[in-house]
Amino acid sequence: MSINGRVSTKKVDRRVRRTRDRLGDAMVDLLQEKPFDTITVQQVLDRAGVGRSTFYTHYRDKEDLFLSDCDEFFEAMATALSRHRDTSDRVAPIRELFAHVAEMRTFYSALVASGRIHDVLDLARAHFARGIQARLALRARAGASSPRRAARAHALAGALVSLLSWWLDHADAGTPAAMDDLYHRLVWTGLGGADGPSTGR
């Protein structure tokens, strides 16, 4: 997601990547200035310096741009630990995610005000459920079934999104590192040791 600090797991032509980045950044900037429903494709094009035909080569409409940008961001974030071959027992990059979102509080407030926050959190939940399931699978003990692991991952992704929302609403709740520690204490205590960590943090 643009949210200024984007990372993408997809291999895309550099020129295409730059164009998509400019359009995504333009949408993020505009969302911090006005409600989503009032933003037009032309305003995005003007802000990004991109032509209309180029826009429609990549996206159907502003909704497609917005959700695609969110989708890319959360996919990259949810798979970051696995892609970087992280050997800790962390199931999600809570510290990194929270630190990044903290820098975008104005954007978060704009999403809430525009009514788009639920769409964004639904995407986050889905991506983190898959990412967490992959991390649990790496540390699965013999006998831990895949369906149960999937259910746990879904529940943990929901807890992640809920914790993030709570943290954003409480300015003195703690640092991203503290939230990472809290979340993973809940993860392994809540799982009661099943699929537990094979290495120390």
Share of residues in the chain with pLDDT > 70 (%) = 85
Structural domains of the chain ordered from first start: 1-78 (1.10.357.10), 86-201 (no CATH)
Model confidence at 148, pLDDT cuts 50, 70, 90, reads confident
Q: 57-106, pLDDT tens digit by residue?
A: 999 999 999 999 999 999 999 999 999 999 999 999 999 999 999 998 88
Give the pTM. Answer: 0.82
Neighbour-count burial of 92, counting CB atoms closer than 10 A to its CB (0-12 exposed, 13-18 middle, 19+ buried): buried
What average pLDDT does the structure give for the chain?
86
Cα–Cα distance measured from residue 111 to residue 38, given in angstroms and rounded to the nearest whole number: 13
Kindly state the average pLDDT of the residues 140-149: 67
Cα–Cα distance, 54 to 16 (Å, whole number): 10
Q: What is the 3-state secondary structure (H, E, C) of 27-60?
A: HHHHHCCCCHHHCCHHHHHHHHCCCHHHHHHHCC
Q: Band of the pLDDT at 163, cuts 50, 70, 90? A: very high
pLDDT of residue 120 exceeding 90 = yes
pLDDT band at 199 (very low <50, low <70, confident <90, very high): very low
Of all residues in the chain, the percent with pLDDT exceeding 90 is 67
Region 18-46 average pLDDT: 94
The confidence score (pLDDT) of residue 114 equals 83
